Amino acid sequence: MLKNYLKIAFKVFLRRKFFTFISLFGISLTLVVLMVVASFFDHFFGPFPPEVKQDRTLFVFGIHLEYPPEQEHMGTDSQDLSLYFVDHFIRPLDHVEKVSVREEFAHSVTHYNDRGDKVDSWLKHTDAAFWDILEFEFLEGNAFTEREVEEADRVAVINEATRRELFGDEPAVGRIVKVDKQRLRVVGVVANVPIFRHGSFADIWVPYSINDRFRARPLTGGWWDLCGEFQAMILAEKRSDLPLIQEEFRQRLSVLEFPKEELRVIGVHGYAETFFEYFSHELFDLEERGERYPRLFLGFIIGGMILFMILPTLNLVNLNLSRIVERASEIGVRKAFGASSRALVGQFVVENVLLTLMGGLLGLAASAGVLRFLSEIELVPYVQFHMNLRIFYYGMLLALFFGVFSGVYPAWKMSRLHPVESLRRRKK
Amino acid sequence: MRHVFKLVWNRRRTNLLIGVELFFSFLILCAVVTTGVYFAHTYRLPLGFSYAQVWDIYINEQKAIDKEARKEMRTQILLALEEFEEIEAAAYVNKVPFGDGFGSRLVYTYEGKSIGIRPRRNFVTDDLDEVLNLELIEGRWFNREDEGIRGVPVVINREFSDALFGTEASLGKEIFRSDPVFPESKRQGPYRVVGVIADFRGDDFSPSAPFLFERCSMNDGYIPNHLLIRLRPGTRAVFGEKLLERMQGIARDWSFQVETLSDHRSDNLRLHLSFLLFGGIVAGLLIAMVGLGMVGVLWQNVAQRTGEIGLRRALGGTAGRISAQFLGELLVIATLAVVPSTMLIAQLPFYGWLEYVPGEVYMGGIFTAALLIYLLVIACALYPSWLASRVQPVEALHCE
């Protein structure tokens, strides 16, 4: 049965090449745009090297201090974490395999190479566990070790682009980079990490201990001890442990208060969250956390996609509707020989789905081209957009959805044609 | 004419779909075209400052540091810059031209009256007028003598002055500000107007809108992190290395990033153009798709209505009139789509959106978009209506 449907469908496609072309053009075009957008999202949120263990990674981006209402500071205040905080509230959590600290994202510095050219690099201060949680691709040398961090050795890992700017493409291990008035010895060179990878991105990675501002401060016993310069990255033992860690962390903080200080703090709030959760909360600019917001954000994305698909869908529906007449005789004959409306709807939907899937394949091929082009013009530094299985899968799913959606109404209308009426028109 | 409407109504189902498609196409076109017109409009306005030979140094300072120590280092950096003869002037600024934009939600009032538009603002130290070559038309820029006098000195642009004070002189007036998001927060001020500049637009695509510079004193708790310096013409880029070394000598644990305003400007241009280009390409392709779809539908229509056309031909309708009829029907549908969406779009300014977009730009955008839609419709109708006009009465009547 299906085979027959497909045969008929192909015959129909070939009979009216212009219509087939319009449909395919519309479908593949829509998919190209959606695919490119999806690919951006995927590169932003998806597990790409070096963040391949993303599905069991949590972040603590900071803590919020809650002041009593009568104090001048209103509401809450957001602070980065101190080493003390990480050691006392994050490392002891159950189900945690590794914890890494790093400075908030990365910061850009200007330095000069031996020829006196200006070089701008993103610098990130971090620790040794960073290299265990993330899987960087080393082109030469190695990461810095725990001992090097402890002893504040002036070492650095640089990326390929920085190596090119500083040393041409020559081997760089053992050579010196001068950044922030410090002479750092290169111990390793890694492949470029796109700026989308918020957790790992930088041009130069150095041990946090080489800069005084990241060293541990003497403790004062107040809430100020919790605040510092860091964010933490937590690798859980298993993916299923994530909620447990989140809950335990929340509870540990909920008992904290500092009522006796000059500036009173009545509550400390902090959240261990995935990057997607963090991003959705930031987007809605909320201090309150909850499952609602990531879902809401996802809803917005899907809503946006559907909105974008309205026009192409309408177009396809319109085309299909106008072609009813063309098929009237066929429908009449089939009905006269006892085909049910449902069978006819099935047939037309299958036809439409076939068409959209063909459009989908075309669209995927075109998006691969567009993505390659976008990578080549370096739209986003260091990002190599390419198709992957996940995107392919989403694309085909979209095409399918598209096909069913735009096929049902015309099919239903077609199947309702009266056999006599449609046979009469056949005389044309 | 009336019968064209009737014909459209008789086939309302099919026409509704075409209409809805045109409706959405028009919305998309409006968005893209208005953005384009707006960009072209603002790009031609004068910037109000000069950016050549100006560097932007971003200071990434240690967060957990004593406030006094930080203030001390910031002051020293500013003093150190005076040693260099390559540097003409320097000032700390909160926001940099060609950067994130100067939008603000704060509302400024004078004697209880506020401006309809939220002004844009910047928070800067003395000497910025020399750094950016700002042209004062009244009064003076703020300086050290303003220290300690009641009221934070501000310099406003002419548009701000006109909006808040009308024809009154603005110099010496005291204004207040408040934050509408936190209505219970204290009213802040007073701010004292000491000077008026011609205009200041943050970048090529910023509107010409009320603007104000607030003075940041080196005794304030917060000093902005961007340092703008104007260099003597002919200073080479290598000077940056020397400069960096000097600043790093003062603040060992801080990092510095040196960029030029010209670089910022080209980044900003690229960003805006690629945004417009992406929107334009997507919209263009969508519209092309709609156009092709419409050709298909019309073609099908012509085939279906052979009988009707044949009848008209037989009764003496000329080929031209038949083409005109098809075109007319489509134009009616297009109008029925364009009118409601124009009404919809015309609402936007009333909701406080697009407050910076001048009316004529907005109207121009809508008008151009409507023109494009009609052109599209006409282009799409050409071939099918030509086909219709070629229908022979004999052939048409034969099929009945």
- Give the Cα separation of A19 and A9 in Å (integer): 13
Q: Least CB-CB distance to A18: which of B245, B296, B304?
A: B296
* Backbone φ and ψ of B204, nearest 5°: -60, -25
Q: Which residues of A34-53 are buried (b: 16+ CB within 10 A; e: fewer)?
A: bbbebbbebbbebebebbeb
Quote the mean pLDDT of chain A: 83
Q: Show residues of chain B in contact with A211, CB under 8 Å.
A: 253
CA distance B97 to B201: 8
- Kindly state whether A306 is in contact with chain B, defined as any CB-CB distance less than 8 angstroms: no
Model pTM score: 0.78
Nearest CA in chain A to B290: A315
Residue where a domain stops, chosen among B199, B228, B257: B228
Domain ends where: B204, B228, B252?
B228
**Residues in A touching B58 (Cβ below 8 Å):** 108
Both B157 and B279 in a single domain? no
**Low-confidence winner among A43-52, A130-139, A210-219, B229-238 (lowest mean pLDDT):** A210-219
pLDDT of the residue at A19? 81
pLDDT interval class at B62 (50, 70, 90): low
Mutate to test the interface with B, among A315, A316, A326, A380 (most CBs of B within 10 A): A315
Q: How many CB atoms lie within 10 A of CB A267?
A: 16
| Rounded Cα distance, B135 and B200, in Å | 9
Residue B64 lies in a domain: no
Put simply, the chain A residues between 163 and 182 with a CB less than 8 A from any chain B CB are 180-181
| pLDDT surpassing 60 at residue B15 | yes
Query: What is the C-alpha to C-alpha distance for residues B111 and B253, in angstroms, rounded to an integer?
Result: 47
pLDDT digits over A137-152, tens only?
999 999 999 999 999 9
Instruction: From chain A, pick out residues whose CB is under 8 angstroms from the CB of B278.
Output: none
Q: Are B23 and B114 within one domain?
A: no
**B62 neighbourhood in chain A, CB within 8 Å:** 212-213, 229
Residues B17 and B100 in one domain: no
Residue B122 neighbours by CB under 8 Å, 6+ apart = B93, B94, B95, B102, B211, B212, B213, B214
Instruction: Name the strand (E) or helix (H) holding B195.
Output: strand B188-197
d(CA A2, CA A346): 10
Q: Are residues B166 and B285 in the same domain?
A: no
Residue B302 within any structural domain of the chain: yes
Structural domains in chain B (count)? 2
B285 with B216, same domain: the answer is: no
Q: What is the chain B residue with the closest CA to A225?
A: B64
The rounded distance, in Å, linking the Cα atoms of A303 and A297 is 10
Among residues of chain A, what percentage have pLDDT more than 90?
22
A residues 339-358 lying closer than 8 A (beta carbon) to B: none
Query: Measured between CA atoms, how close is A314 to chain B, in angstroms?
Result: 6
Please give the torsion angle defined by the CA atoms of residues B130, B134, B135 and B136, in that order, rounded to the nearest 10 degrees: -80
Mean pLDDT of B233-249: 87
Stretch 227-286 of chain B: residues touching chain A, C-beta under 8 Å: 237-238, 240-241, 244-245, 248-249, 252-259, 274, 282, 285-286
Asked whether residue B52 is assigned to any structural domain, the reply reads: no
Q: Across the interface, do A314 and B17 touch by the CB < 8 Å criterion?
A: yes
Question: Would an 8 Å CB–CB cutoff place A427 in contact with chain B?
Answer: yes
Query: CB of B64 within 8 Å of any CB in chain A?
Result: yes
Strand partners, B90: B229
Q: Given pLDDT bands bounded at 50, 70 and 90, which one contains residue A428?
A: very low
Residue B242 lies in a domain: no
Q: Which of B228, B252, B287 lies at the terminal end of a domain, its last residue?
A: B228
DSSP-assigned letter for residue B300: H
| Radius of gyration in angstroms for the set of CA atoms belonging to chain B, rounded to a whole number | 31
Contact A213/B304, CB-based, under 8 Å?
no
| Res A286: pLDDT | 60
- What percent of chain B is modeled with pLDDT above 90? 20
Residues in B closer than 8 angstroms to A317, CB to CB, are 17
Compute the nearest-CA separation of A325 from chain B (Å). Answer: 7
pLDDT value of position A426: 47
- Contact residues, chain A, for B300 at CB < 8 Å: 322-323, 325-326
Q: What is the mean pLDDT of residues B310-326?
A: 81
pLDDT given for residue A91 in this prediction: 93
CA distance B44 to chain A (A): 27
Residues in chain B: 400
Interface contact flag, A26 B24, Cβ < 8 Å: no
Query: What pLDDT, on the 0 to 100 scale, is given for residue B182?
Result: 63
Strand partners, A270: A63
CA distance A360 to chain B (A): 16
B272: tokens are: 């805006």
Question: In this complex, how many residue pairs, one in chain A and one in chain B, have their CB atoms less than 8 Å apart?
Answer: 120
State the nearest Cα–Cα gap between B67 and chain A, in angstroms.
14
pLDDT at A71: 60
A chain contacts of residue B25, beta-carbon cutoff 8 Å:
311
- Model confidence pLDDT, tens digit, residues A373-389: 888 887 777 777 777 77
pLDDT in tens, B106-160: 788 888 787 777 788 899 998 899 999 998 998 999 988 888 788 889 999 998 8
Distance CA A287, CA A295 (A): 16
Residues in a beta bridge with B228:
B56, B91
- Cβ pair A110:B256 closer than 8 A: yes
Q: Are B277 and B394 within one domain?
A: yes
Same domain, B96 and B224: yes
- More confident of the two residues A405 and A176: A176
Each residue's pLDDT tens digit, B183-222: 655 667 788 999 999 888 888 888 888 899 999 888 877 7
Nearest to B182 among A74, A312, A427 (CB): A74
Q: How far is A339 from chain B (nearest CA, A)?
A: 25
Range of the domain at B185: 90-228
Same domain flag for B172 and B300: no
Q: Are B387 and B294 in contact (CB under 8 A)?
A: no
Pick from A13-27, A44-58, A351-365, B135-149: least confident? A13-27
Q: Do B292 and A80 touch (CB under 8 A)?
A: no
Counting Cβ atoms within 10 Å, is residue B329 exposed (0-12), middle (13-18) or buried (19+)?
buried
SS (H, E, C) A154-208: CEEEEEHHHHHHHHCECCCCCCEEEECCEEEEEEEEECCCCCCCCCCCCCEEEEH
Query: Prior bond to B190 cis, omega within 30?
Result: yes
Give pLDDT tens digits for A249-269. 988 888 888 877 777 788 888
Q: What is the mean pLDDT of residues B13-39?
A: 88
Say if B318 falls within a structural domain: yes
Task: Judge whether B167 lies within some domain.
Answer: yes
Distance CA B131, CA B51 (A): 9
Beta-strand (E) ranges in A67-175?
A: 76-81, 96-103, 107-112, 118-126, 138-141, 155-159
Residue B166 has pLDDT above 50, yes or no: yes
- For the complex shown, is ipTM > 0.90? no
Query: A33 at the B interface (CB within 8 A)?
Result: yes
pLDDT at B365 over 60: yes
Q: Write the residue in A25, A107, A110 that is nearest to B240 by C-beta.
A: A110
